[in-house]
């Protein structure tokens, strides 16, 4: 009887988190806004990469929100340099493309109203280096085809370099730049990069909601999140090769030092369509406008091989380019698409959109105390214009974010 009651409670909470509308006149909405135009201007060949070192899945940065706030705002010419990009082709050829920016006003990138501080958990003096779990582990392991193949979980994919990604087009995957480039050169395996789709084998026909149910129940009760080894005999990846990989020069210049993490995103174009439903990208709204101030993302954390791991949490501080939060994560989740679900007034429906890319972990000394948090790269209007053009190839389809 207890398991039935827990299952009923789980279903109710799942409906609340994912499907239930907000019956309120103040429901959070996607607000259409005109975005600038980012167009390629000139492309030239660059020396071929070396592909010497494996991808680092635990990229960190010592630059906290205060560090980012103090940084000078990039000029128009700075932005043209930062948004220029390299394209790695599957034959090993490398090109660099300069860009032009049109319809951009620096005043449109207004300073955000920063929150007064991180949550109390971040103000503890206890140091948890290289750990991306904050207190109780609130991650949910997803298993069984009735969940894995269901949107939005089905948009999460695995990269052969060890990271995660999100389907954002018929043949496009959004991920973190550090998953393919270490800031100096392309990583080992980037030339023959593959994207994996996790699928249960056909004999796995039983609904398998135990892990999601158990984790959710334990989080409600405040207990530890259970985890058992993945049923690898029931799981498999179907792989598709990447045809092109786009990386902004802002990442190549920065390598997660100081402001470099602002541009830790990349787009992969697959050699063939994946034939799955994808998630649209959207301009990241201020954290206070997110439903419950929460963000969500799913990825393939290394400590849970074979599982797709979902999490959600409240957003913390934010800068123009970064969103800080305490969503539990481990290496392997890098590159996951951070998304929100809000009302689309134009199409009269609820819609999820990717508003950022999970980048990694930051640990800093702040006012004499050790603080740490996970960080996601926000999709700003300029980044939206660039990524959308990479996907659509037509700026006319990218004017509203």
Give Cβ neighbours of residue 183 (< 8 Å, ≥ 6 apart): 251, 252, 254, 255, 256, 257, 260
- Residue 93 is predicted with a pLDDT of 96
Is 317 a domain residue? yes
Is 329 a domain residue? yes
Cα torsion through 189, 191, 197, 200, rounded to 10: -50
- Residue 370 is predicted with a pLDDT of 63
Identify the domain containing residue 137 by its residue range: 38-105+119-398
Domain count, the chain: 1
Tens-digit pLDDT profile for the chain (401 aa)? 444 554 454 444 454 444 444 433 468 899 888 899 999 999 999 999 989 999 988 777 767 777 777 878 889 999 999 999 999 999 999 999 999 999 987 665 543 333 323 333 333 333 344 446 655 666 777 766 667 778 999 999 999 999 999 999 999 999 999 999 998 899 999 999 999 998 766 554 444 444 444 444 344 333 444 444 444 445 688 999 999 999 999 999 755 444 568 999 999 999 999 989 999 999 999 988 998 889 999 999 988 887 899 999 888 888 899 998 888 888 899 999 999 999 998 888 999 999 999 998 776 556 666 667 788 999 999 999 999 999 999 999 998 87
Q: Tokens 């149910």 sit at which residue?
A: 213
- Residue 203 is predicted with a pLDDT of 54
- Residue 304 is predicted with a pLDDT of 85
Is 9 a domain residue? no
How many Å separate Cα 88 from the centre of its chain? 21
> What amino acid positions are annotated as catalytic residues?
178, 258, 334
- Residue 275 is predicted with a pLDDT of 86
Is 364 a domain residue? yes
Is 164 a domain residue? yes
The closest alpha carbon to 82, from 361, 401, 385, 383, belongs to 383
Q: Is 34 exposed, middle or buried (0-12, 13-18, 19+ CB in 10 A)?
A: exposed
Contact call for residues 183 and 260 (beta carbons, < 8 A) = yes
Per the DSSP assignment, residues forming a β-bridge with 186 are: 181
Is 143 a domain residue? yes
In 10 A of CB 195, how many CB atoms?
23
- Residue 110 is predicted with a pLDDT of 40
The structure's pTM equals 0.81
192, two tokens: 């023959």
Question: Domain holding 93: CATH number?
Answer: 2.40.10.10
Task: Note if the bond before 293 is cis, omega within 30 degrees.
Answer: no
Is 16 a domain residue? no
Is 280 a domain residue? yes
- Residue 158 is predicted with a pLDDT of 95
């Amino acid at each position: 009887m207890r398991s039935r009651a827990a299952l009923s409670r789980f279903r109710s909470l799942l409906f609340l988190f994912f499907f239930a509308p907000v019956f309120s006149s103040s429901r959070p909405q996607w607000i259409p806004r005109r975005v600038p135009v980012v167009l390629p201007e000139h492309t030239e060949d660059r020396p071929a990469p070396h592909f010497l070192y494996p991808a680092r899945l635990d990229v960190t940065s010592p630059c906290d929100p205060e560090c980012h706030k103090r940084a000078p705002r990039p000029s128009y010419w700075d932005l043209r340099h930062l948004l220029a990009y390299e394209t790695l082709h599957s034959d090993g050829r490398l090109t660099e493309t300069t860009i032009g920016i049109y319809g951009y006003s620096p005043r449109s990138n207004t300073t955000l109203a920063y929150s007064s501080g991180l949550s109390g958990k971040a103000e503890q003096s206890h140091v948890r280096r290289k750990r991306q779990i904050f207190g109780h582990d609130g991650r949910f392991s997803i298993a069984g085809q009735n969940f894995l193949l269901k949107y939005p979980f089905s948009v999460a994919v695995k990269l052969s370099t060890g990271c995660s990604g999100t389907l954002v087009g018929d043949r496009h995957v959004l991920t973190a730049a550090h998953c393919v480039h270490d800031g100096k050169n392309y990583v080992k395996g980037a030339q023959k990069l593959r994207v994996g789709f996790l699928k249960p084998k056909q004999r796995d026909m039983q609904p398998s909601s135990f892990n999601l149910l158990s984790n959710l129940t334990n989080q409600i009760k405040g207990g530890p999140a259970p985890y058992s080894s993945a049923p690898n005999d029931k799981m498999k990846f179907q792989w598709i090769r990447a045809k092109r990989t786009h990386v902004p020069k802002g990442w190549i210049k920065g390598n997660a030092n100081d402001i470099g993490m602002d541009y830790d995103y990349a787009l992969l174009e697959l050699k063939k369509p994946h034939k799955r439903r994808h998630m649209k990208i959207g301009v990241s709204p201020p954290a206070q406008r997110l439903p419950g101030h929460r963000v969500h993302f799913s990825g393939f954390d290394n400590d849970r091989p074979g599982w797709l791991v979902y999490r959600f949490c409240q957003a913390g501080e934010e800068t123009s380019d970064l969103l800080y939060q305490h969503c539990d994560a481990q290496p392997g989740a890098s590159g996951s698409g951070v998304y929100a679900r809000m009302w689309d007034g134009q199409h009269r429906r609820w819609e999820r959109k990717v508003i950022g890319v999970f980048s990694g972990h930051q640990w800093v000394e702040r006012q004499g105390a050790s603080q740490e948090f996970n960080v996601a790269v926000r999709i700003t209007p300029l980044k939206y214009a660039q990524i959308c053009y990479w996907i659509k190839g037509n700026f006319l389809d990218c004017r509203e974010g």
